[in-house]
Amino acid sequence: MKKYQLMAPGPTPVPSEVLLAMAQPMIHHRTPEYEALFTEVRAGLKTLFQTEQEVLPLACSGTGAMEAAVVNTLSTGDRVAVVRAGKFGERWIEICKAYGLDILELGAPFGETVPAARVADALRREPRLRAVLAQHSESSTGVLHDVRGYAAATRGTDAILIVDAVSSLGIADLPMDAWGVDVVVAGSQKGLMLPPGVGFCALGEKAWAQTKTSTLPKYYLNLTEEKRCVAKNEAHFTPAVSIIVGLRQVLRMLAREGVPNVFRRHDRLARATRAGVEALGLALFAKATPSPALTAVVAPAGVDSERIVAVYSEAHNITIAGGQGEMKGKIFRLGHMGYAAEFDVIVALAALEQVLADLGQPVDFGAGVRAAQKVFADRA
């Protein structure tokens, strides 16, 4: 018996109690039962997004919600700055290109970050910028970008800050209203530990104002219409009912743990993972603040990281992820987000020790686990 373990940076495991909630008989979305459920979900989402604004769930993946953020707030030819330091930064660029926006690339080598000062400088030099687009956690590199700094830089300018928090919502602290983030985008399959299929957009006042002049075409992803319906406790189009049912369960679990504790848990898991990886002599890929959602690790010299992913799967029945795009073959990524706890990290590191040995690498067995244990033992 090799128990299956999903340790990729999303989709993440779904707790059994959530799976079973979603396995209840289908209900219709225009019934008092669904309305009661949606009322609870809306309140829970506001708490989680740390906003007074309505959070809009959409039946789409995170990328659909990213597109919704763009097409609802911007107009053809608008000048926008994109923080590009990974595959998901590139996705912002692809979306903006598809809609004819005029892009200022604020690039950094993958694994690094773009300092807030560079964003502030760009906004000073180009006052006609209408938006800054960035990731919070860049899942392809394992870096956490300085969203708080970006928000401070955009405040008082004509630009809104649009943040892809797909792999940070419910993982890393992102107080939307307090920091002044104008748009937060998220997805169901990371910190929310649900199946993929629901994306979220939350817009602040400045972003809602910008929707009024936005000329980009939209219908399915029209957030103004969605907001109008959500205010009536409905969805504009048929919602992904089963995932919303699961979401209620997840929001209850997160409320029980307490959102600040959820952030602390992820921070501990990430620190323990990094300590374990480094104790095994491997290098972290992140050259900037590492993300608490996942750890990207450089494969040992002469080892194709795809082999590491394959041995994790074939020998140990554990799914992790390799590198994407230009990082393929060079890095592997361990997820520790959502339904993830201390002993999952222990398993991931114990497996890593085995995998390295299987691949003929020198391994000090137990060293990775020991380093993680020390992090967990420190209850401060």
- Looking only at the bridges linking them, the beta strands covering 5-6 and 79-84 are unpaired
Name beta bridge partners: 124. none
And the tokens for 203? 């817009």
Our CB check for a copy of itself shows the closer of 51 and 291 to be: 291
Q: Look up tokens 């748009």; give the residue.
A: 183
- Contact 367/306 with Cβ under 8 angstroms? no
Q: Is the torsion defined by CA of 276, 281, 284, 287 positive or negative?
A: positive
Our CB check for a copy of itself shows the closer of 88 and 263 to be: 88
Measured CA distances, 76 to 59, 67, 73, 98, 99 (Å): 25, 14, 11, 10, 7
At closest approach, how far in Å is the CB of 196 from a copy of itself?
4
And the tokens for 311? 């041995």
Our CB check for a copy of itself shows the closer of 94 and 378 to be: 94
Our CB check for a copy of itself shows the closer of 15 and 281 to be: 15
Our CB check for a copy of itself shows the closer of 149 and 187 to be: 187
At closest approach, how far in Å is the CB of 107 from a copy of itself?
20
At closest approach, how far in Å is the CB of 335 from a copy of itself?
10
Our CB check for a copy of itself shows the closer of 180 and 239 to be: 239
What's the helix, strand, coil split of the chain in %, to 5? 45, 15, 40
At closest approach, how far in Å is the CB of 224 from a copy of itself?
12
At closest approach, how far in Å is the CB of 310 from a copy of itself?
10
- Contact 165/142 with Cβ under 8 angstroms? no
At closest approach, how far in Å is the CB of 319 from a copy of itself?
5
At closest approach, how far in Å is the CB of 23 from a copy of itself?
4
User: Interface residues with a copy of itself (CB under 8 A)?
Assistant: 4, 6, 8, 10-14, 19-20, 22-31, 59-64, 66-67, 94-95, 98-100, 187, 189, 195-198, 216-222, 237-243, 313, 319, 321
Chain mean position to CA 180: 19
Q: Is 324 exposed, middle or buried (0-12, 13-18, 19+ CB in 10 A)?
A: middle
Our CB check for a copy of itself shows the closer of 310 and 367 to be: 310
